[in-house]
Structure 1
Amino acid sequence: MRPATLLRLALAGTRTDTARVVLTGLSAALATLAVLAALTVLAIPEVPGDPWAQAEQYRNNLLREPGLRGGTAFALLLLTIPVLALAGQCARLGAPARDRRLAALRLAGATPGQVTRVAVSETGLAALLGTLAGLAVHLGGRQLLHRPDERGLLALPTDVLPPVGALVAVVLGLPLVAAAATALLLRRVTTTPFGVVRRTGQRRGPRPWPGLLIGLGLAAGVGALPLLRTGDGLGSGAARWLVPTVVLGGGFAAVLGVVLGTGWISYVSGRLLHRLARRPAMLLAARRLMADPWAGSRTFAALLAAVVFGAGAAAQRAYFALSDRVQRQEHRLVGLDEGANPFYLRTMNLVDLAVAVAVTIAAGGLLVALVEGIVARRRAYAALVAGGVPRSVVGRSIAWQALVPAVPAILVAMTVGLLLGRAWSGPVSTGTVSGMVCDAGPELCADPATRARYERLVEPVRRQLTPDVPLEQLALLGAGALAAVLVTVGVGLLFLRSSTAVEELRTT
């Protein structure tokens, strides 16, 4: 198959195929912007001879202090997780119609390999268009936002640009990753002239083995994060990179365990619901959860990753709040007017904003997945309605199917995020401030000749305080995630009436 023919077939299709390409490209553009923003932060040059010297040209301490830039870049990279999950959900949009189109290509004489290359090229080209658009927006925004204030300070690092090699790697690397992921997902799919056949093994319920990933991730956090936090054991050479790699790998393993564990949660929830339910909507939802438990892992992946990140941020905020309170008390105890630096607490407001953005993006992916599920199963839903099942019962079954696994999965994600955040922050140390206090009156203390007689050294007791569990923030995070699920379910049910028309029984 010639490249021109492959390109024409990859871009052909209906309005649904066009929407899938546009949404996939939009997701790739958002991921490109996040990665380029992180690379731009890391591209801020250090002062020669002093690697800890601050970059005086910026207003924000996150950009001024070299020690904070790595965390800022890491937070920006975390935003790509829900975006990439959204891209994965958008790639499934209109899957039945695309399967019929690929089957038609097979009927016209195309080989299975050629059909697979068409599907891979579609995803890769959509992602490439998105990365090019993201690069254009990044370069254009760099020019528009380069506005120094009256002191000549910049709000954003618009004076630096990542190396050209890094830009090329991002623009070309993300489409290649998307194409490789598509090829990997199609490895168990055979496209025949009569449709798409998915080769599956023995059908059995999921096993709780993702709990091992969660345990390994938490163990890596408890063991390696204190070393990274204090700097102990971080020498030169391989050890300098080993501990951060273990920390990042452990965090990724914990998040992956939460996402994959949703399949087991869905299956167990479906069995319990099937055993206890007495109403048709619950029974329909239970059978659906047991028949396809992995749908929860695909649907809630981005949302659960955002919840883990948000719970970890809540633990960090609790640590900074306790540290700020302890330092203020100790400053007052030794008679100092200055309090603690509220910079870290203000920074957590930006982190909370990033969590809100991640939950919003994840809700978009959840909506796409829910609508796609309704449209893909429209024949089954239409058959239920034609057989006398009210549409309201079908709608409630879809709501139960989304909510039953979502609630325990969100609780597990918040618990894992809280434990990782606790391991990262650690306890708060007291007794770090000491000073001389004068116990006499203002007149005697103001006179240097008499002040020395009444002065005494105040040293607060040294101890380790554990921050409280941020129940309020966790409750807001869980309620926000659950509200996102409810809103997307409500919007998705708007497509139920058109998908349960009697005419849909003729859909192939």
Structure 2
Amino acid sequence: MNAVLALAPRLRRAGGRDDRLTTALAVAAFTVTTALTLSVIGGLLGFIGRSDHPVGAYQEELAQSYVIFAWVAVVLLIVPLLTLGGSAARLGVSRRDARLATLRLLGVTPREVVVLTVLETAWQGLLGALIGSVGYLALLPVWSRVPFMGSPLSMGELWVGPWVLLLTILVVPVLAAISGMVSLRRVVVSPLGVARRQTPPGLRAVRAVIAVAAMGSFMVATLISGLPLVALAIVLLGTLALGFAAMNLIGPWALGLVGRLQAKMARTPAQLLAARRLVDDPRAAWRVVGGLGLAGFVAGALAVVPLLASSGGDQEMVSGDPTSTATFSGDLMRGAMLTLVIAFLVAAAAAGIGQAATVLDRRREYALQVLAGTPVELLDRVRRREILVPMLLVGVGSAAAALVMMSPVFGFAGLSDPSGLILLFGCLTGGCLLVLGVTETSRPLLRSVLAETQVRPD
């Protein structure tokens, strides 16, 4: 085991510039995850603090409602953030699998392979958690300028405390290590298959069944009556989180299905290559566009907010305060837009990091295609096409899934309000353009990879 521990840093150095770039991308993903997760938790704690110690009639009567809405925002944001963190641990997975599979074939035991992976992913998570904690502190002045309940939350209210900060720094490397270990199943079970680059088994349709059942659990939970308000809120938030997380199950399966349909209808080389890549590894495509899918779900779930914000009319929500309704409506819209902005920023970060890592993972494949005479422009079109089609499918499909999940609560009233439709359409359009623009930043990286046609025995 001591020899394995000594081997770990040498393996990182042996990967060269590509592995250094992949490591930097993973650390960046963990940094974004940590900074935004702490910010979201800080906002929740700030509203809880105002609920426990209200100042004025407005906070006494409505602070508890703000806590409930804050919990909804946490549920809608924590899943994309955890997904980004899990994807970070899998960056460069094909190159890492190839190295570890070679070690397995040379006699390294499965336990030692697991130790190597845990060391590699855990230190990336630790470094990202430390930098992300600093980023959270740097963002506190920004969040403290956003007004709620008539006055912004102070930095003291948004401060999560030293224990939460320490716990986050400890938990992020553990989650990174677990995600890295999950990705090792192919190496441990069949190192020869990895070394020979055999295509992994396809995703099963049971994923769709489980995902539909998870989403349906929220719709069933909305029919429950007779429970105390707190218990009902816990059940609804739990089933909402379960259905939301199920998007990660059905997403890769749906992309693989679309890839097979595209392959059958392909009329150009770019269409065929993009479809075959989607079929070969739908999980990799989901790591790029999955963040947009989750953000689209958030947009669909919040499409009813304009209707809720305008439903109060001119009546006073707090007795003796004629401005209470306007304050509450403004805070509701402000919170919804802030949630959407964070969700789409996470989606853009996931897309850019995932696309860059995909380009690095396919270095050997690109080199072989160039040596076989494939034009560079064709490969660039394929890269763009394998993002564009899944992006549109995932963005629209996830928003539609959210509307169906929320229909037992609000019906389709949100769709009857033009402002709700405008919000949903604008968010999806802006999110797609943002993700597409971020993925285009990997074009120079692809050009540099294609400039080097030497095939490395990874």
Q: TM-score range by the shorter chain?
A: 0.7 to 0.9
Find the aligned partners of 2:61 and 2:109 in 1 and give their Cα distance.
53
2:235 alignment counterpart: 246
2:55 alignment counterpart: 56
Amino acid at match of 1:294: R
Deviations for 1:254-277, whole angstroms, at most 9, x for unmatched residues?
A: 333333323333233223322322
Find the aligned partners of 1:203 and 1:102 in 2 and give their Cα distance.
20
Change (3 A) 1:159 1:305: closer
2:296 matches 1:307: yes
Q: Which has the higher helix share?
A: 2
Q: What is the Cα deviation at residue 302 of structure 1? A: 1.8
Find the aligned partners of 1:182 and 1:257 in 2 and give their Cα distance.
20
Structure 2's unaligned 5+ residue stretches are 317-321
1:490 alignment counterpart: 440
Deviations for 1:236-265, whole angstroms, at most 9, x for unmatched residues?
A: 9xxx44x34432343233333333323333
Find the aligned partners of 1:38 and 1:497 in 2 and give their Cα distance.
38
Find the aligned partners of 1:46 and 1:387 in 2 and give their Cα distance.
62
Find the aligned partners of 1:177 and 1:317 in 2 and give their Cα distance.
37
Contact 1:218 1:420 in 2 (8 A): yes
2:425 matches 1:475: yes
Find the aligned partners of 1:92 and 1:487 in 2 and give their Cα distance.
23
Secondary structure of the structure 2 residue equivalent to 1:314:
coil
366, 374, 380: which is aligned to 2:365? 380
Which has the larger displacement, 87-96 or 167-176?
A: 87-96
Contact 2:252 2:283 in 1 (8 A): yes
Q: What is the Cα deviation at residue 117 of structure 1? A: 0.7
Amino acid at match of 1:212: V
Change (3 A) 1:64 1:197: farther
2:200 matches 1:221: no
Find the aligned partners of 1:474 and 1:302 in 2 and give their Cα distance.
16
Amino acid at match of 2:226: G
Secondary structure of the structure 1 residue equivalent to 2:401:
helix
181, 184, 187: which is aligned to 1:186? 184
Find the aligned partners of 1:379 and 1:504 in 2 and give their Cα distance.
8
Find the aligned partners of 2:165 and 2:7 in 1 and give their Cα distance.
27
Contact 2:54 2:60 in 1 (8 A): no
TM-score scaled by structure 2? 0.79
Change (3 A) 1:198 1:477: farther
Find the aligned partners of 1:52 and 1:178 in 2 and give their Cα distance.
34
226, 234, 237: which is aligned to 2:227? 234
Find the aligned partners of 2:219 and 2:440 in 1 and give their Cα distance.
40
1:86 alignment counterpart: 84
Q: What is the Cα deviation at residue 157 of structure 1? A: 5.2
Deviations for 1:22-54, whole angstroms, at most 9, x for unmatched residues?
A: 44344334433444445445556989xxx9675
Bigger CA radius of gyration = 1
Contact 1:29 1:134 in 2 (8 A): yes
277, 291, 298: which is aligned to 2:266? 277
Q: What is the Cα deviation at residue 426 of structure 1? A: 5.9
28, 32, 36: which is aligned to 2:30? 28
354, 369, 383: which is aligned to 2:339? 354
Find the aligned partners of 2:272 and 2:61 in 1 and give their Cα distance.
54
Q: What is the Cα deviation at residue 87 of structure 1? A: 3.1
Secondary structure of the structure 2 residue equivalent to 1:173:
helix
Find the aligned partners of 1:354 and 1:144 in 2 and give their Cα distance.
15
Contact 2:33 2:84 in 1 (8 A): no
Deviations for 1:322-374, whole angstroms, at most 9, x for unmatched residues?
A: x14xx24x89xxxxx98943423443223213312321222222122222222
Contact 2:102 2:191 in 1 (8 A): yes
Q: Following superposition of structure 1 onto structure 2, how do residues 289-304 of structure 1 map, counting pairs within 5 Å?
A: 289-304=278-293
Number of aligned positions between the proteins: 447
Deviations for 1:92-120, whole angstroms, at most 9, x for unmatched residues?
A: 44445545654676688753322321211
Secondary structure of the structure 2 residue equivalent to 1:503:
coil
Contact 1:220 1:250 in 2 (8 A): yes
Secondary structure of the structure 2 residue equivalent to 1:233:
coil
Amino acid at match of 1:468: D
Which has the larger displacement, 6-15 or 294-303?
A: 6-15
1:175 alignment counterpart: 173
Which has the larger displacement, 65-74 or 304-313?
A: 65-74
Q: Following superposition of structure 1 onto structure 2, how do residues 320-335 of structure 1 map, counting pairs within 5 Å?
A: 320-321=309-310, 323-324=311-312, 327-328=313-314
Q: What is the Cα deviation at residue 162 of structure 1? A: 4.8
Deviations for 1:216-239, whole angstroms, at most 9, x for unmatched residues?
A: 344333333466xxxx52339xxx
Find the aligned partners of 1:378 and 1:499 in 2 and give their Cα distance.
6
Contact 2:216 2:243 in 1 (8 A): no
Find the aligned partners of 1:118 and 1:62 in 2 and give their Cα distance.
54
The structure, 1 or 2, with the larger RCO (C-alpha pairs under 8 Å, 6+ apart) is: 2
Find the aligned partners of 1:45 and 1:353 in 2 and give their Cα distance.
15
Secondary structure of the structure 1 residue equivalent to 2:188:
strand
Find the aligned partners of 2:407 and 2:140 in 1 and give their Cα distance.
37
Find the aligned partners of 2:415 and 2:426 in 1 and give their Cα distance.
22
Change (3 A) 1:91 1:286: same
2:277 matches 1:288: yes
376, 396, 401: which is aligned to 1:416? 401
Contact 1:10 1:118 in 2 (8 A): no
Q: What is the Cα deviation at residue 476 of structure 1? A: 1.4
Q: What is the Cα deviation at residue 413 of structure 1? A: 0.3
Contact 2:141 2:155 in 1 (8 A): no
TM-score scaled by structure 1? 0.72
Structure 1's unaligned 5+ residue stretches are 332-336, 429-464
Q: What is the Cα deviation at residue 305 of structure 1? A: 1.0
Find the aligned partners of 1:146 and 1:389 in 2 and give their Cα distance.
53
Find the aligned partners of 1:315 and 1:374 in 2 and give their Cα distance.
39
Amino acid at match of 1:290: V
2:453 matches 1:503: yes
How much identity, in percent, do the aligned residues show?
26
